[in-house]
Structure 1
Amino acid sequence: MKIALLGATGFVGSRLLREALTRGHQVTAIVRDPAKLTETSDLLTVVTGDVNHPEQLAQQLAGHDVVLNAFSAGWTNPNLYDDFLAGSRAIEQATVAAGVPRLFAIGGAGSLFINGQQLVDGPEFPANIKPGALAARDYLNELKHNTQLDWTFFSPAIEMHPGIDTGRTGHYRLGTESPVFNAEGRSILSGEDLAVAVLDELEKPQFSRQRFTAAY
């Protein structure tokens, strides 16, 4: 498979890149600063690109089987909400313009439902990540209206961050609109196993034009 990956230098994107290359896929990593990319492989092509230039981005995406969007606008960015939406929309626009049939977007857990309420609307949702969670939720609602692309949206487990030391186990359980909890009542997944779940879906699709989630 020929994968165009946005966000390859981030926490999630770097793990997606490693998993894709390990499985033998050809990956084009489109990054703002190639110097930040440490992964090397004969299967890897590194391209300097920017989501703020969708016409150029469309040219870079052309010829791929899927666009894997792990774009991040930066959690400490004061303009996080607007920048995340703008970047996600530009990637979607460029994917359509490039004629790539498939778009896979990594979002957040905030749009998952518990007892009919989305997590991001709860009173205990962390204020520091709320703008990003709201942006990801609003983008998912927009993406649902796209009838041109075979899209998939992934919401990670509630606990999915640096410091989860389970590494790559290759095991996870799937859900759709609600978090997946373990016996201890935690929704948790490592970045490495997130990448496993995403690449499994890319290789054997189950969630065309749907959102799904995964956790242990």
Structure 2
Amino acid sequence: MRLLLLGATGTTGAPLTEAALRAGHEVTALVRNPGKLPERPGLRTVAGDVRDPRSLATAADKADALISTLGVGASRDPDNLIRDSMRAVIAATEQTGLRRLVIQSAFGVGASYPKSSVMMRLGYHLAPAVFRDKAAGEDQLTNTDLDWTLAYPGVLTNRPRTGHIAAIDLRELDRLPGLPRIARADVADFLLHTATTGTWIRSIAVLTASK
């Protein structure tokens, strides 16, 4: 498949890029600095701004699916990154006809907040603007007729890929206890799988490590 990746140089985006190339997909990465991604067979880098619909439309040309792992890292000020980039993504889909969008978010956003544990909620209060920004962007997406999937991982770790992922539809979840963790590499595998198989359409998948 032809995949457009946003956030390809990030902590989840990097293993996602590796997994997509390893699986033989044609990957386009929209990045601010193409020099951060070494040239690889199957990889095309496009310099641009994820808030700019024209940059996104250029990068998305002929893409079968878009996967976004955009985030602000340790920053507590998202500067409306998700809200603005989602608006640009939706505008780009109108220009290109791209329909399949897979977005990594975070457990605790929107309707998942009441289903989180007290310990997880304490963490959310350290960066409330980040969660508000994600929710604002996702509200735009879920009000379209696009084939979207949102992934809500638990606490992300840098542990090696395990291949053991538990995914549950947010609508079927009563509460997520404790501080469930999952490796970023495993999240990357889920994002790639759902983007290329067409599963979890118009659904929110809560991701944790399976036992």
CA displacement at 1:140 relative to structure 2: 2.1
Matched AA of 1:89: R
Matched AA of 1:53: D
Say if 2:168 is the partner of 1:171.
no
Say if 2:89 is the partner of 1:91.
yes
Q: Which residue is 2:156 aligned to?
A: 160
Q: Which residue is 1:42 aligned to?
A: 41
CA displacement at 1:53 relative to structure 2: 2.2
Say if 2:106 is the partner of 1:108.
yes
Q: TM-score, normalised by structure 2?
A: 0.85
Q: Which residue is 1:60 aligned to?
A: 59
Inter-partner Cα distance in structure 1 for 2:75 and 2:203: 29
Inter-partner Cα distance in structure 2 for 1:179 and 1:170: 25
Residue-pair matches, total: 206
Q: 1:171 to 1:97 in 2, by over 3 A?
A: same
The answer for unaligned runs of 5 or more in structure 1 is none
1:117 match: secondary structure: helix
Inter-partner Cα distance in structure 1 for 2:122 and 2:176: 18
Structure having the higher helix fraction is 2
Matched AA of 1:29: A
Structure with greater contact order relative to length (CA < 8 Å, sep ≥ 6): 2
Say if 2:205 is the partner of 1:212.
yes
CA displacement at 1:181 relative to structure 2: 5.9
Inter-partner Cα distance in structure 1 for 2:186 and 2:121: 29
Q: TM-score, normalised by structure 1?
A: 0.84
The partner residue of 1:191 within 184, 188, 195 is 184
Q: Which residue is 2:33 aligned to?
A: 33
CA contact (8 A) 2:8 2:29 kept: yes
% of aligned pairs identical? 26
Matched AA of 1:67: L
